[in-house]
């Protein structure tokens, strides 16, 4: 029975990831195909050109965002979105999520920490999101940083101001740390290795 469950534990996540990837590829291809066909005759269109065109377009947009005029246009449209109740919340959440991942990627070696709670004699894995707290003057802490604590098997978590002295940096990749915390340690590779050969 355990062997079957182990196999199921591999097949279901793999199938789900493949389904999501295929869906993203298909939707990207269809979306950019319609745009590309405006400039390209249908007889010259080859399957996959839409996806490639999409990747190139996203890269070009990323380059253009370095220019002041493009940034001004983006700020203008973001202000319009902020005035729309539903869109503002959705857009802001998605943008903040990618900014969160991007910031942690830039500081991958220093963002994963072990947070110590002396009163509880406990420790948690956390993620430093920012140490720029110049706008917070009333924290009454020595060298505070903002640390995000992910909840296991939950979408959300907690953002806490924590003194740097209570943090110990961990030599972990951000993907491994997030997976470990999100699954409450069940995804620990050492645990998987110990189960090999068991029926």
Ramachandran region, residue 70 (left: φ > 0; alpha: ψ -120 to 50; beta: rest): alpha
For residue 105, the model assigns a pLDDT of 59
Query: pLDDT digit string (tens) for 2-50?
Result: 777 777 777 887 888 888 888 888 888 888 888 888 887 888 888 888 8
Within this chain, do residues 95 and 114 fall inside the same structural domain, yes or no?
A: no
Domain ranges, residue 182: 108-194
For residue 103, the model assigns a pLDDT of 62
Within this chain, do residues 10 and 93 fall inside the same structural domain, yes or no?
A: yes
Q: At a CB cut-off of 8 Å and minimum separation 6, what does 142 contact? A: 163, 164, 165
Q: Are 168 and 116 in contact (CB under 8 A)?
A: yes
pTM of the complete model: 0.51
Residues of the chain with pLDDT under 50: 190-199
Within this chain, do residues 41 and 119 fall inside the same structural domain, yes or no?
A: no
For residue 102, the model assigns a pLDDT of 65
């Amino acid at each position: 029975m355990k062997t079957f469950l182990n196999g199921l534990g591999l097949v279901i996540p793999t199938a789900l990831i493949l389904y999501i990837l295929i869906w993203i590829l298909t939707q990207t291809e269809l979306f950019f195909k319609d745009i590309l066909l405006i400039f390209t005759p249908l007889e010259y269109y080859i399957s996959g050109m839409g996806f490639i065109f999409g990747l190139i377009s996203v890269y070009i947009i990323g380059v253009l965002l370095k220019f002041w005029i493009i940034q001004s246009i983006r700020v203008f449209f973001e202000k319009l979105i902020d005035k729309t109740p539903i869109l503002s919340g959705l857009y802001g959440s998605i943008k903040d999520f990618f900014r969160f991942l991007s910031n942690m990627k830039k500081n991958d070696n220093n963002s994963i920490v072990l947070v110590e709670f002396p009163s509880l004699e406990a420790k948690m894995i956390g993620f430093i999101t920012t140490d720029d707290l110049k706008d917070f003057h009333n924290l009454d802490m020595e060298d505070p940083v903002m640390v995000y604590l992910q909840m296991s098997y939950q979408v959300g978590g907690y953002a806490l101001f924590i003194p740097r002295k209570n943090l110990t940096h961990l030599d972990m990749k951000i993907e491994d740390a997030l997976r470990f915390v999100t699954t409450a340690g069940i995804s620990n590779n050492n645990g998987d290795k110990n189960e090999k050969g068991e029926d």
